[in-house]
């Protein structure tokens, strides 16, 4: 959600958020007791060229919007009252209406552990911890467990018995994990493919060169688009190439100094990033199209994590503000340098596809090539457009995406088994 703020009140809003504090613990005082909330943040979106500023509230939650809104109204708004009071037209008498009015649809959304609720993730973490501790305890009592090549099943049985006895509140075995149904997505892809084949066949039936004519007609708009894009890219590249790679302004350095002392405080980090799309209808439509594609991939292809081979993103989303600017939120594992390195080394085409349509992005070729592969330019560009994440909350700040997946697997396997291989895998997760 984004709530408009009159630019003269931005400083006051920043002060109100600074009052809350930047650590995850500070964030927990605002968001910590909301049910099913994974990650949340409050960020000031500074004034753009047409003079509009916002307070952005990002929440990633399980379940339906209505009860979540109730909790935001009942808990978050009173706790961050001073911040919300800075928003234009925000009615403290009708916070629900004001929040709803600020709702923005996400253009692309990605979730690194689709279908796992906060409750499940936290349960799985406790299962892992408890079992690790029990295993340590067993080894202390009987070092012979350290002998190699033993049957893994007796120790597994013993640990599961103890877990059930000593931690009866923890759930093991399969838990519901609703995933986006990829069936419809695949059906649409097949539908489009069959439609194209049908057109080509129809063309062939009507005229000897009909198939070629149909193919040419289908490809013509693509070719036209590629030519228009190529020209635009050449223009953009000429502008960028004459600028030095480095050199931040004083303001940028000040902001980076603030960000530098917030980042890397926990195994997880938040990135908030704001850029202005390049002018023109071509770029605007390409941007929306690529975001749609990324969204589809995140929902239907990378359902078990690892968007474009990046195994460290919990939640990420892009939204387009009313003044056209593109806002990116990410909740990721590890250091900024490591996250950006993954962008450069493992997911550069997708990100270049999105951000090549925004200003000052490193020169690109055919939308998805170049761009983020220009490592230093890309990192400086990202830093330059990064915002301070004033208030940030995580429900499991001590877990990486890989931890979440490993713990879920451990919990699923935590049922008696006669299969040696499964028991060995299970022990390997401890």
Partner 1 sequence: MKRADLQAIVASGFGDRGAARYVFVRARAGSTPEEVRAELAARALPHVVSIESNKPHAFAQLAFGPGGLRAIGLDDEELDTFPREFVQGMAHPERARVNGDRVDEWHLGRGGLDVLIAVFAGSDGAALALERAMLDGARHLERACEPLVASRLPDQTEHFGFRDGVSQPSILGVHGDPRGPERPVPTGEFVMGYENVYGQLPAAPSLSPARGVGLPESRVSPGRRDLGDGGAYLVLRKLEQDVFAWRAWLREASRPLAGYVADPEAYLGAKVVGRWASGAPLVTCPRADDPAHATKNDFDYDLDLSGLACPRGAHIRRTNPRGALPPSPPRSRAAVETRRLVRRGRPYGPPAGDAPDGEARGLVFVCLCANLARQFEFVQQTWVEGVKFDGGWSEDDPLVGARRAGADRFTIPRDPVRYAPRGLPRFVTARGGGYFFLPGMDRLRWLLGARG
Q: Which residues bind partner 1 (CB under 8 A)?
A: 128, 132, 135-136, 139-140, 143, 145-152, 155, 241-248, 253, 256-257, 260-261, 264, 267, 306, 309, 311, 333-335, 337-338, 341-342, 344-346, 373-376, 379, 398, 400, 402-403, 406, 423-424, 427-428, 430
**Shortest gap between Cβ of 248 and partner 1 (angstroms)?**
8
Q: Which is nearer to partner 1, 145 or 213 (CB)?
A: 145
Q: How far apart are CA 306 and CA 294, in angstroms?
A: 13
CA R_g for the chain: 25
**Shortest gap between Cβ of 222 and partner 1 (angstroms)?**
29
DSSP annotation of 416: -
**Shortest gap between Cβ of 152 and partner 1 (angstroms)?**
4
Q: Which is nearer to partner 1, 242 or 251 (CB)?
A: 242
**Shortest gap between Cβ of 102 and partner 1 (angstroms)?**
34
Calculate the alpha carbon distances from 265 to 64, 271, 310 in Å.
31, 13, 21
Q: Which is nearer to partner 1, 83 or 401 (CB)?
A: 401
Q: Concatenated DSSP letters for 355-389?
A: HTTBTTPPPEETTTEEGGGSHHHHHHHHHHTEEP-
H-state helical runs in 102-181? 118-141, 152-166
- Token look-up 């806002």 returns 327
Token code pair at residue 126? 């406790």
Residues 6+ apart with CB under 8 A from 175: 120, 123, 411
Token code pair at residue 218? 């289908």
Cα 150 to the center of its chain, rounded Å: 42
**Shortest gap between Cβ of 406 and partner 1 (angstroms)?**
6
**Shortest gap between Cβ of 268 and partner 1 (angstroms)?**
9
**Shortest gap between Cβ of 247 and partner 1 (angstroms)?**
7
**Shortest gap between Cβ of 151 and partner 1 (angstroms)?**
8
**Shortest gap between Cβ of 125 and partner 1 (angstroms)?**
9
Contact, 331 vs 315, CB < 8 A?
Answer: yes
Contact, 108 vs 115, CB < 8 A?
Answer: no
* 296: Cα within 13 Å, side-chain hemisphere: 12
User: Is the torsion defined by CA of 359, 365, 371, 377 positive or negative?
Assistant: negative
Contact, 152 vs 420, CB < 8 A?
Answer: yes
Helix H or strand E segment including 290: helix 281-296
Q: Which of 250, 193, 253 is nearest to 218 (CA)?
A: 193
Q: Which is nearer to partner 1, 40 or 155 (CB)?
A: 155
Q: Which is nearer to partner 1, 136 or 181 (CB)?
A: 136
Q: Which is nearer to partner 1, 276 or 403 (CB)?
A: 403
Q: How far apart are CA 3 and CA 53, in angstroms?
A: 8
**Shortest gap between Cβ of 346 and partner 1 (angstroms)?**
7
Contact, 329 vs 391, CB < 8 A?
Answer: no
Q: Which is nearer to partner 1, 230 or 428 (CB)?
A: 428
Q: Which is nearer to partner 1, 174 or 345 (CB)?
A: 345
């Amino acid at each position: 959600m984004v709530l408009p703020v009159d630019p003269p009140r931005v400083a006051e809003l920043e002060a109100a958020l600074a009052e809350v504090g930047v650590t995850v613990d500070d964030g927990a005082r605002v968001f910590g007791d909301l049910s099913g909330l994974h990650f949340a943040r409050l960020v000031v979106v500074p004034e753009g060229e047409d003079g509009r500023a916002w307070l952005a509230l990002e929440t990633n939650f399980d379940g339906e919007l209505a009860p979540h809104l109730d909790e935001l109204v009942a808990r978050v708004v009173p706790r961050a009252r001073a911040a919300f009071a800075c928003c234009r037209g925000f009615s403290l008498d009708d916070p629900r209406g004001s929040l709803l009015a600020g709702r923005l649809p996400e253009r692309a959304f990605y979730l690194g552990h689709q279908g796992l609720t906060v409750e499940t993730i936290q349960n799985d973490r406790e299962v892992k911890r408890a079992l690790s501790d029990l295993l340590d305890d067993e080894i202390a009592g009987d070092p012979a467990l350290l002998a190699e090549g033993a049957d893994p099943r007796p120790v597994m049985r013993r640990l599961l018995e103890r877990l059930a006895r000593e931690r009866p509140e923890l759930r093991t075995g399969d838990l519901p994990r609703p995933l986006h149904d990829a069936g419809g997505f695949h059906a649409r892809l097949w539908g489009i493919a069959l439609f194209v084949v049908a057109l080509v066949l129809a063309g062939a039936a009507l005229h000897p060169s009909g198939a070629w004519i149909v193919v040419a007609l289908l490809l013509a708009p693509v070719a036209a688009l590629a030519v228009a894009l190529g020209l635009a890219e050449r223009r953009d590249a000429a502008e960028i190439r004459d600028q030095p790679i480095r050199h931040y302004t004083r303001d940028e350095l000040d902001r980076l100094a603030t960000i530098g002392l917030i980042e890397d405080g926990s195994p997880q980090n938040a990135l908030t990033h704001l850029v202005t799309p390049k002018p023109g209808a071509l770029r605007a439509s390409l941007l929306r199209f690529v975001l749609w594609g990324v969204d589809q991939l995140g929902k239907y292809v990378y359902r078990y994590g690892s968007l474009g081979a990046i195994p460290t993103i919990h939640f990420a989303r892009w939204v387009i503000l009313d003044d056209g600017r593109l806002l990116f939120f990410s909740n990721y594992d590890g250091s900024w340098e490591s996250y950006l390195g993954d962008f450069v080394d493992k997911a550069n085409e997708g990100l270049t596809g999105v951000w090549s349509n925004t200003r000052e992005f490193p020169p690109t070729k055919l939308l998805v090539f170049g761009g983020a592969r220009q490592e230093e330019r890309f990192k400086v560009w990202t830093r330059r457009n990064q915002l301070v994440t004033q208030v940030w909350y995580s429900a499991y700040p001590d877990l990486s995406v890989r931890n979440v997946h490993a713990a879920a697997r451990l919990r699923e396997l935590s049922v008696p088994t006669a299969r040696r291989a499964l028991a060995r895998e299970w022990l390997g997760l401890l």
